[in-house]
Amino acid sequence: MGLPTSGAEVVSAAEVPARTDGQVTVPEHCLVTAEVFPVDPDAPSILLEVALPARWNGKAVWFGGGGFDGVIPDVTGNSLNTLAPTPLARGYAVFASDGGHQSTAATPGTDASALANEEAYRNWLSDAPKKVRDVAGHVIRTYYGVDAARFYAVGSSTGGREALFATARFPADWDGAVVLYPARNVVSTMVGLTAMVQALSAPGAFPSAAKRKLVWDAVLAECDALDGLTDGVVGDVVSCNARFDVTALRCAGGEDTGDGCLSDAQIQAFEAIDAPVRIASPLANGDTEFPGYNVYSAAQGVGTDSPLEPLVQSVDLGSSAPSFPVDPLTNAFAAAFVDSFMRHVVVRDPSFDYRTFDVKTFGPHAARVQELSALDVGDADMGGFAARGGKLLMLHGTGDMLTSPRTTERYVEDVRASIGAAAADAMLRYYEVPGFQHAASTVFQVSWDGLGALERWVETGEDPGDDEVVTDLAGVAGRTRPLCRYPTFARYRGTGDPDDAASFACAAP
């Protein structure tokens, strides 16, 4: 094993017969569970599963986790709402882990309590995928008698960060990765989330669903047609951010006089979420700011009747102002993430009110913040991965209010600066999807077979370029758009079916 552990063992192995759940067929497979033991006896183990199909295609895929992990993703399942067959159904050996700890919380992905242990934190941050990859590789080789010919990584949010670290640090382990809205640069991301929940916690600042709809309607009036089509999606986000002025919605006198306008406190909250958070002293990883969020390009829970609306509200601003203790039913996930991270990982005081944290200087916790930030390095060092011919597909929704697409844009710029434009262009394709938020959206709910695109690129040399198509499952179910390489976006050609990707061309802002 490539990183220090106290060894690993298979816990169980069971043959699972084929079955059909609704329209999904789970093929016959052997399900292996295993445990990776820590070096620190006080740290939790890493639990993992490997699904070994009876009809194996000779390849393996790893699924990343989400939030603070704590549970094992379903190795018989799929990723990102895709309508394509599951990797297991395609013949892949599939493996995943709990990220290095086991949570019994009602919402395990928001529970950082185990990460107070340093080894557990490093496992969650970056180390677990390597340890799990080595164990899974051994299990696959033992079961089939040969090594897997290809290893792919598929991860979103936390899983996306894990995949970036895995491919950068251990490039020989991986042939390619699909990375969706990665939660990277953990410390600066937590600073950004903290600044956002603090802005929303100010007296009178939290905007109701009606207030958010007011803003969204105003954004659409100003920006919807910038991409050539009035379709309820802000395609040209860059131009929209430059021209939309939230102060035009100000109530007379700045006081809250109803749902038809915004108070000064609410305007200040929106402006704070959009703006960068400047850090007094550079973080150990080099960050000097968190770049803010595209708050005006997302319908942040405006009260639609979509079944996705509760999830959208949770991953955006929530339905009530951030509180302490956190209300898991009405507060945004951002509040839950920041609360648990600050109490257990940074301050290490269960009674600490996350809303009081100093996001500019970090106050008495500055040394601890720098210590954690020093671990947020290396995921952009993709020289080895590029040199071996590895391929990286990345996707982020422009309206993501948990992991800002602006941080992913900077990641792409860092990779290009690190290994050069030519090497980056041979290795990396990054797409932004207007209207998509964090895993869910009532505007444009993404379905995309990223694994299929990665397979074709790695195995046949078929560059996805601007030829990939993404399908909307919720905003206008069934409509398609081209995936355009950042910084371009899909502009309507002026003729043709507005719900057909063929009617759009990728254009610069």
- Annotated active-site positions, please? 157, 400, 438
- 205 in Cβ contact with 269 (< 8 Å): yes
Contact 438, 402 (CB under 8 A): yes
Closest-CA residue to 394 (of 193, 159, 151)? 159
* H runs (alpha helix) in 420-449: 421-427
Q: How many residues are present in the chain?
A: 509
Contact between residue 437 and residue 298 where contact means Cβ atoms under 8 Å apart? yes
The C-alpha atoms of residue 88 and residue 204 are separated, in whole angstroms, by 50
Instruction: Identify the DSSP state of 207.
Output: P
**Structure tokens given for 91:** 């013949």
Residue indicated by tokens 């393996």: 60
Q: Measured between alpha carbons, how far is 502 from 509 in angstroms, rounded to an integer?
A: 19
CB-count exposure of residue 204 (10 Å: 0-12, 13-18, 19+): middle
Instruction: Provide the phi-psi class of 97: left if phi over 0, else alpha when psi is between -120 and 50, else beta.
Output: beta
Q: Compute CA 213 distance to the chain's CA centroid, rounded to the nearest angstrom.
A: 25
Tell me: cis bond preceding 487? Omega within 30 of 0 counts.
yes
Residue 287, C-beta contacts closer than 8 angstroms, at least 6 positions apart = 185, 187, 188, 279, 373, 376
Rounded CA-CA distance 491/509 in Å is 10
Residue 325, preceding bond cis, omega within 30 degrees?
yes
Separation CA 143–CA 130 (nearest Å): 20
Whether 295 contacts 200, CB under 8 Å: no
Peptide bond connecting 291 to the previous residue in cis, omega within 30 degrees of 0: no
Q: 4 by DSSP, 3-state: which?
A: coil
Read out DSSP for 333-377?
HHHHHHHHHIIIIIS--TT--GGG--TTT-GGGHHHHHHHHTTS-
Distance CA 473, CA 174 (A): 31
